[in-house]
Amino acid sequence: MTRDRAKATTSLAVRKAIGQVVAYTALTVGGMLCLIPLYWTFISSLRPSGWELTFPPKWIPEYFLWENYVNAWGSGPFLIYTRNSLTVTILGTLGSLATSSVSAFGFARLRFASRDVLFAIILSTMMLPSWVTIIPKFVMFKEIGWIDTLYPLWVPAWFGGGAFYIFMMRQFYMTLPVEMEEAARVDGASTFRIYLQIILPLTGPVLASVAIFSFIRYWNDFMGPLIFTNKVDTRTLALGLRFFRNEFTTSVNLMMCASMFMTIPVIILFFAAQRYFVRGVVTSGLAGR
Amino acid sequence: MTSDVQSRPNTADATRSRVLRARKRAIRRELEGLAFVSPAVLGLLLFTAGPMVVSLWFSLTRYDLITKPVWIGFGNYKHILGDKIFKLSLWNTAYYTFIGVPLQTIVALAQALLLNMKVRGVNVYRTLYYLPSVTPTVASVILWLYIFNRNYGLINSALWTMGIPPIGWLSDPKIVKVSFILMSLWNVGGRMVIFLAALQGVPEELYESASLDGANALRKLWNITLPMISPVLFFNIIMGFIGSFQVFTAAFIATEGGPANATLFLVLHLYRQAFENLKMGYASALAWLLFLIVMVFTSLQFAGSRRWVYYEAA
Q: pLDDT per residue over A230-244, tens digit each?
A: 899 999 999 999 999
Residue A145 lies in a domain: yes
Q: Give yes or no: residues A186 and A230 share one domain.
A: yes
CA-nearest residue of chain A to B273? Answer: A135
Chain B CB within 8 Å of residue A8 CB: no
In a domain, A277, yes or no: yes
Contact A106 B47 (CB under 8 A): no
Mean pLDDT within A249-255: 84
Triad A10, A14, A18: Cα angle to 5°? 170
**Residues of A with Cβ-Cβ distance to B42 under 8 angstroms:** 159-160
The phi, psi pair for B62, rounded to 5°, reads -105, 125
Q: Mark which residues 145-204 of B lie under 8 Å from A by CB.
A: 146-147, 149, 151-152, 154, 157, 160-161, 186, 193-194, 196-198, 200-201
A239 with A147, same domain: the answer is yes
The mean pLDDT value for B183-196 works out to 91
Q: Residue B289: its pLDDT value, please?
A: 96
Residue B3 predicted with pLDDT over 80: no
Contact B133, B214 (CB under 8 A): no
In this prediction, residue B307 has a pLDDT band, given cuts at 50, 70 and 90, of confident
Q: What are the pLDDT digits (tens) for A35-77?
A: 988 998 888 889 888 776 676 677 788 888 899 899 999 888 9
Q: Does A59 touch chain B (CB under 8 A)?
A: no
Does A131 share its domain with A49?
no
Report the distance separating Cα B62 and Cα B6, nearest Å: 68
pLDDT band with cut points at 50, 70 and 90 for residue A279: low
Percentage of chain B surpassing pLDDT 90? 63
Cα R_g (chain A), whole angstroms: 25
Q: Which pLDDT belongs to residue B314?
A: 40
| Residue A281, pLDDT above cutoff 80 | no
Residue A289 lies in a domain: no
Of B127, B193, B287, the CB nearest to A131: B287
Model confidence at A131: pLDDT above 80: yes
pLDDT value at A218 more than 70? yes
**A249 and A110 co-located in one domain:** yes
C-alpha distances out from residue B5 to B1, B10, B17, B60, Å = 6, 8, 13, 61
Q: What is the pLDDT of residue B1?
A: 44
**pLDDT averaged over chain A?**
87
Query: What pLDDT, in 10s, does the model give residues A115-127?
Result: 999 999 999 998 8
Tell me how close the Cα of B230 comes to any Cα of chain A, in angstroms. 8
* Smallest Cα distance from A85 to chain B, Å: 12
- Average pLDDT (B261-280) is 96
The alpha carbon of residue B10 and the mean position of all alpha carbons in its chain are separated, in whole angstroms, by 63
- Asked if B114's CB is within 8 angstroms of A27's CB, the reply is yes
Cα separation of B214 and B63, whole Å?
68
Last residue of a domain, one of A45, A68, A91: A68
**What is the band of B153 on the pLDDT scale with cuts at 50, 70, 90?**
confident
Of B197, B267, B274, the CB nearest to A135: B274
Residue of A227, A263, A287 with shortest CB distance to B136: A263
Cβ contact B29–A222 (<8 Å): no
Top CATH class of B75-305 equals mainly alpha
A235 shares a domain with A109:
yes
Residue B267 is predicted with a pLDDT of: 97
When CB atoms are compared, the residue of B52, B119, B194 closest to A281 is B194
Convert the pLDDT of each residue in A100-114 to its tens digit.
999 999 999 999 999
A53 CB neighbours in chain B (<8 A) are 151-152
Domain that holds residue A213: 75-283
The pLDDT > 70 percentage for chain B reads 96
Q: How far is B61 from chain A (nearest CA, A)?
A: 13
- Predicted confidence at residue B2, as pLDDT, reads 47
Pick from B114, B127, B154: CB nearest A57:
B154
Same domain, A238 and A95: yes
The pLDDT of residue A3: 62
Average pLDDT over residues B56-73: 94
Q: What is the pTM for the complete model shown? A: 0.89
Looking at residue B242, its amino acid is I
Those residues whose C-beta lies under 8 Å from the C-beta of residue A251, and which sit 6 or more positions away, are A49, A75
- Mapped to the 3 state alphabet, what secondary structure does chain A carry? CHHHHHHHHHHHHHHHHHHHHHHHHHHHHHHHHHHHHHHHHHHHHCCCCCHHHCCCCCCCCCCCCCHHHHHHHHCCCHHHHHHHHHHHHHHHHHHHHHHHHHHHHHHHHCCCCCHHHHHHHHHHHHHCCCHHHHHHHHHHHHHCCCCCCCHHHHHHHHCCCCHHHHHHHHHHHHCCCCHHHHHHHHCCCCHHHHHHHHHHHHHHHHHHHHHHHHHHHHHHCCHHHHHHCCCHHHCCHHHHHHHHHHHCCCCHHHHHHHHHHHHHHHHHHHHHHCHHHHHHHHHCCCCCC
Catalogue the long-range contacts made by A277-282 (C-beta closer than 8 Å, 24 or more residues apart): A277/A209, A277/A212, A277/B130, A277/B193, A278/B126, A278/B193, A278/B196, A278/B197, A279/A205, A279/A209, A280/A168, A280/A206, A280/A208, A280/A209, A280/A210, A280/A212, A280/A213, A281/B193, A281/B194, A281/B196, A281/B197, A282/B197, A282/B200
SS (H, E, C) chain B: CHHHHHHCHHHHHHHHHHHHHHHHHHHHHHHHHHHHHHHHHHHHHHHHHHHHHHHHHHCCEECCCCCCCEECCCHHHHHHHCCHHHHHHHHHHHHHHHHHHHHHHHHHHHHHHHHCCCCCCHHHHHHHHHHHHHCCHHHHHHHHHHHCCCCCCHHHHHHHHCCCCCCCCCCCCCCHHHHHHHHHHCCCHHHHHHHHHHHHCCCHHHHHHHHHCCCCHHHHHHHHHHHHCHHHHHHHHHHHHHHHCCCCHHHHHHHCCCCCCCCCCHHHHHHHHHHHCCCHHHHHHHHHHHHHHHHHHHHHHHHHHCCCCCCCCC
A168 plus A82 within the same structural domain: yes
CA-based nearest distance B76→chain A, Å: 15
Query: Does residue A288 lie within any of the structural domains?
Result: no
Name the most confidently modeled range: A160-169, B20-29, B93-102, B194-203. B93-102
Tell me if B129 and A274 make a contact (CB, 8 A cut-off).
Answer: no
Give the model's confidence band at A288: pLDDT under 50 very low, under 70 low, under 90 confident, else very high: very low
pLDDT at B4 over 80: no
Which of B178, B222, B179, B192 has the alpha carbon at shortest distance from B107? B192
Within this chain, do residues A153 and A216 fall inside the same structural domain, yes or no?
A: yes
- pLDDT at position A282 is 60
Average pLDDT of the residues in B152-167? 87
Flag whether pLDDT at B221 surpasses 70. yes
End-to-end CA distance of chain A: 50
User: Contact A288/B157, CB-based, under 8 Å?
Assistant: no
Whether residue A192 is found in the same domain as residue A104: yes
pLDDT of A278: 64
Domain end, chosen from A68, A101, A120, is at A68
Determine the distance in angstroms separating the CA of A3 from the nearest CA of chain B, rounded to an integer.
25
* Residues A120, A126, A127, A130, CA torsion sign: positive
Q: What is the CATH number of the domain that holds A198?
A: 1.10.3720.10
On chain B, the residues whose CB falls within 8 A of the CB of A286 are 194, 197-198, 232, 235
Least confidently predicted of A200-209, B58-67, B296-305: A200-209
pLDDT, average across residues B176-185: 96
**CA nearest to B43 within chain A:** A159
Domain count, chain A: 2
Q: Which residues pair with B70 in a beta bridge?
A: B62
d(C-alpha B50, C-alpha B44), whole Å: 8
A148 & A279 share domain: yes
Cβ B148 vs Cβ B218: under 8 Å = no
- What is the rounded average pLDDT for all residues in chain B? 90
* pLDDT tens per residue, range B94-132: 999 999 999 999 999 999 999 998 888 888 888 889 899
Of A19, A53, A68, the residue that ends a domain is A68
Instruction: Specify if A39 maps to a domain.
Output: yes
The average pLDDT across A14-34 equals: 89
- Identify the weakest region by mean pLDDT among A160-169, A175-184, B239-248, B281-290: A175-184
Among residues 74-113 of chain B, which lie with CB inside 8 Å of chain A?
Answer: 111
Q: What's the mean pLDDT in A244-261?
A: 87
* CB B40 within 8 Å of CB A114: no
CA distance B87 to chain A (A): 18
Residue of A59, A101, A131 best to disrupt the B interface, most CBs of B under 10 A: A131
* Mean pLDDT of all residues in B135-159: 88
Comparing B198 with A286, the larger pLDDT belongs to B198
The shortest C-alpha distance from A159 to chain B (Å) reads: 5
